[in-house]
Amino acid sequence: MSSSDDDRPLATTHKANGVTNGHPLKSKDIISESVDKTMDKANPPAVHGAPGISIRNGPVDEMDIDGPAVNGNANGKRKARSSMGNRKSYKEASEEDDEEGKPLSKRRCLSKGKNKADVESDSDDAPLVSKKIKNKSPTLLRKPVKASETAIGESEDSDAPLGEKLAKEKADIQKSAAKEAKAIRKDEKEHPKKQTNGTVAPSKKRKSQTNDVKKESDDDVPLAKKVPAKKNAGSKAETSTPKKKGKALKREETKQDEEAEAEEEEYRWWEDPTKGDGTKKWTTLEHAGVVFPPEYQPLPKNVQMLYDGNPVRMAPEAEEIAGFFGAMLNSTHNVENPTFQKNFFDDLTKMLKETGGATDRNGNKVNIKEFSKCGFQPIFNYYDAQRMEKKALSAAEKRQLKADKDAAEAPYMYCMWDNRKQKVGNFRVEPPGLFRGRGDHPKTGRVKKRVEPEQITINIGKEATVPAPPEGYSWKEIKHDQEGTWLAMWQENINAAYKYVMLAANSDVKGQSDFKKFEKARELKKHIDHIRKDYTAELKDKVMANRQRATAVYLIDQFALRAGNEKGEDEADTVGCCSLKFEHVTLKPPNKVIFDFLGKDSIRFYDEVEVDAQVFKNLKIFKSSPKTDGDEIFDRLTTSALNKHLSNYMSGLTAKVFRTYNASFTMSKLLQNMKSTGSIAEKIVDYNEANRKVAILCNHKRTVAAGHESQMEKLGDRIKGLKYQKWRMKQMMLNIDPKIKKKKEKEEGDGYFQLDDELEETWIHEHQNFLVEEERQKIEKKFKKENEKLTADGGKEMKHKELEERLEDADELAKKFKKENKTGKVEAEGKGPTVEKCEGNLAKLDQRVNNMLFQAKDKENNKEVALGTSKINYIDPRLTVVFSKKFDVPIEKFFSKTLREKFDWAIKSVDEDWEF
């Protein structure tokens, strides 16, 4: 694409001859210049603060993960509203009394909703420093443990508030984005064969050049295809090896051949950017089907639901529904919810009518009419006893149960996809139960019915053996859909949504999906300047629809708002940018906007932001009379129309791509300027600080965890415990060599051997008791584990007397602490204690304290931002790999085992020089 404006994709709607979107413009759709001027006078441009940066006060919400639906999740996106092209102006619509003439926000929603995609979240975050610790333990924060300014590209002498610094940094990043977009377009014009993902299109001549690979420059070869130096044949070392080493050389060559063969067997699909572009996803597909939940086991005769204090008998179908509620009495959040209670009771009474109702002990009919008279405690007690019984099983018994379960499910865990073994994500059919939903879902408490084989459609290869359904049943349908990546599907009864069995997150197919997602964001790099230039110009467009669209794109780009879709009446009232209503937006002159609404998953989104003066003026126009609560801000805009407009810039561009692009591009710029040094713990803080900036700038927030303060107290106690160990170690040094006191105090200061001020006497006694109790628990746990092993091996258990003898060690520790408190002296521990050994132990304790302080500060900074969300879903995982390799930090510090499998393609495909 050329860098000139003439060659860029069509960005704005043609308005020639008074036409927009192919329809004649109405007078009410045109914003008069007088309205703009009036708004300008009423709202002069802001002279302080910077637009496009959130002030972030008040409640925060945790973002979620945009992922494909699998078993347990609805497949669908909610139906979008009808095309804006056929819609009337707001004023015209509001003047009509009939249903068709009402504003869209007030019309009856007839579209059926779909459940949202499931949320995968993985947070490796550790506890933080609490206010209580800050107040009680000033020493805890005495050391400068935050990431250095140079590490994240800030000036060291800057005293500007975080909001101002981030606003300036965001503006700088957007300027660099514009420059980079122009550079990419220029480079593509000069090198037309270069593909969007940075690789070079293969040439037909390459076949005859296979033997000349080593002679060519690696500059234009994809990184994953570069020939590793260690495997080059015919090196000087080999040619100069004496004959007496011939056998060793042959063994080495054999080993290298085996390594090369293993590497060939590994499917490095990310090296082929065209893989998966077509509609055909597989050629051959074999799998074993799905695993059904166990059949319902009726309750014992002495366990029954109570009605008005008396036990009642029901048919198994109704008893099972009552059991769903009874089993979860400890989940007060649900069972005390009036909507949950009503929906459950409606379904229970409906089933009672279908199955003949309930009877008392004498067989007399019992008319169950009131939920308040129902008693579920006997059912809860029964299921709770079963849970406790299972929990009390020995480790050997638990292992055996797991082994039996794994053996039974082994055939379903993997499938053969194009003759490659791939792990299946979730092959288990959901068991029946009560639907909970997210937030204030109107259907919470409804019964999720048992899924029968006749409801399930199997997708499999034509030549493969169709898995057998349970005896006496049959499948709904057998399909050979090579364009689908699902193995089985069915429709659930709550929202009539389809559920799918898909491949696991670490499979090739899912990996390709992630790869394409981030490559799509990389492609947006070369169009972002045009998009921002166009929507900035359209903020003043005279056509209302265009101005609303430009304002929405601005909010989505600058504040990471979701686009939002219309929902049916039976869905939770959650909104996004395009579906914002009058009451969700509050304007504070001169340029502040407060958003307050239920976002995805019914999590409250509250944010106060500073916006461009023109955006503020537009929002005031969009909220002007006769609009009131319940009316839509963007009444001339739909999500589908917005995405259709964005697709004019590049194929497949939708509103949600901006979230991925902004997060990844911001992180890449921060990493380019980063100079991380110090220990691994310090480098992790630097990474998390950059990630935190991304989360703030891209609005990836979360609520502060309910247990945050208690977690911080525990972490503070652990740090104080290490400081207490340091004091004891120093006292041991004095016990070994009293003369060392003068020497150390001269080198380290007069207070070297003194007890830290924050280690109060009361706390020390409590900590000593904790250490003694901890020692007891360790001994008891070890004793129990050894006995279980003896029993499993057919041996005889140790007697309780052995445990009592072992526990004497804990008693000795208690006596030692008591003596230390009385004398103020600490005897040296271990064999052959020396001052040098004590100093070595002190150094280790210092490192542990320092690491915990870094961890504490890091977690305190990140308590209101969703680092896991940014890192897993929006920041290109290859950037995390770049940091890991560039600063020599193990990738395990950032990605758990599950994530390392999920992002295996990212870990293996880039080096430290890769750029987003």
Task: List residues with catalytic annotation.
Answer: 874
Rounded Cα–Cα distance for residues 232 and 15 (Å): 63
Nearest to 758 by CA among 133, 128, 143: 133
The residue assigned the tokens 């591009």 is 665
> Computed over its alpha carbons, how large is the radius of gyration of the chain?
33
Rounded Cα–Cα distance for residues 430 and 828 (Å): 60
Residues with Cβ < 8 Å from 34, sequence gap 6 or more? none
Rounded Cα–Cα distance for residues 870 and 63 (Å): 9
Residues constituting the chain: 916
> How does 119-134 read in b/e, with b if 16+ C-beta sit within 10 Å?
bbeebbbebbbbeebe
Phi and psi at 597, nearest 5°, equal -160, 170
Residue 577 contacts residue 571 (beta carbons within 8 Å): no
Count how many Cα atoms sit within 13 Å of the Cα of residue 617 in the half-sphere of its side chain. 23
What is the DSSP annotation of 624-674? -TT--TTSBSSTT--HHHHHHHHTTTSTT--TTHHHHHHHHHHHHHHHHT-
Nearest to 69 by CA among 658, 434, 510: 510
In this structure, is the dihedral angle defined by the CA atoms of residues 378, 382, 387 and 389, taken in order, positive or negative? Answer: positive
Cis ω for the linkage preceding 138 (within 30 of 0): no
Residue 560 contacts residue 72 (beta carbons within 8 Å): no
With helix as H, strand as E and coil as C, how does 72-103 read?
CCCCCCCCCCCCHHHCCCHHHHHHCCCHHHCC
Rounded Cα–Cα distance for residues 844 and 609 (Å): 46
**Residue 310, SS3?**
strand
Residue 77 contacts residue 656 (beta carbons within 8 Å): no
Residue 64 sits at the vertex; the CA angle it makes with 61 and 66, to the nearest 5 degrees, is 150
Distance of CA 114 to the CA centre of its chain: 21
The residue assigned the tokens 């929202």 is 495
Distance of CA 490 to the CA centre of its chain: 26
For residue 233, CA distances in Å to 208, 242, 249, 591, 916 come to 19, 17, 12, 67, 33
H/E stretch holding 815 reads helix 800-823
With 0-12 CB in 10 A as exposed, 13-18 as middle and 19+ as buried, what is 739? exposed
Q: Which two tokens stand for residue 468?
A: 């057998």
For residue 357, CA distances in Å to 25, 314, 346 come to 62, 7, 14
In this structure, is the dihedral angle defined by the CA atoms of residues 65, 68, 74 and 77, taken in order, positive or negative? Answer: positive
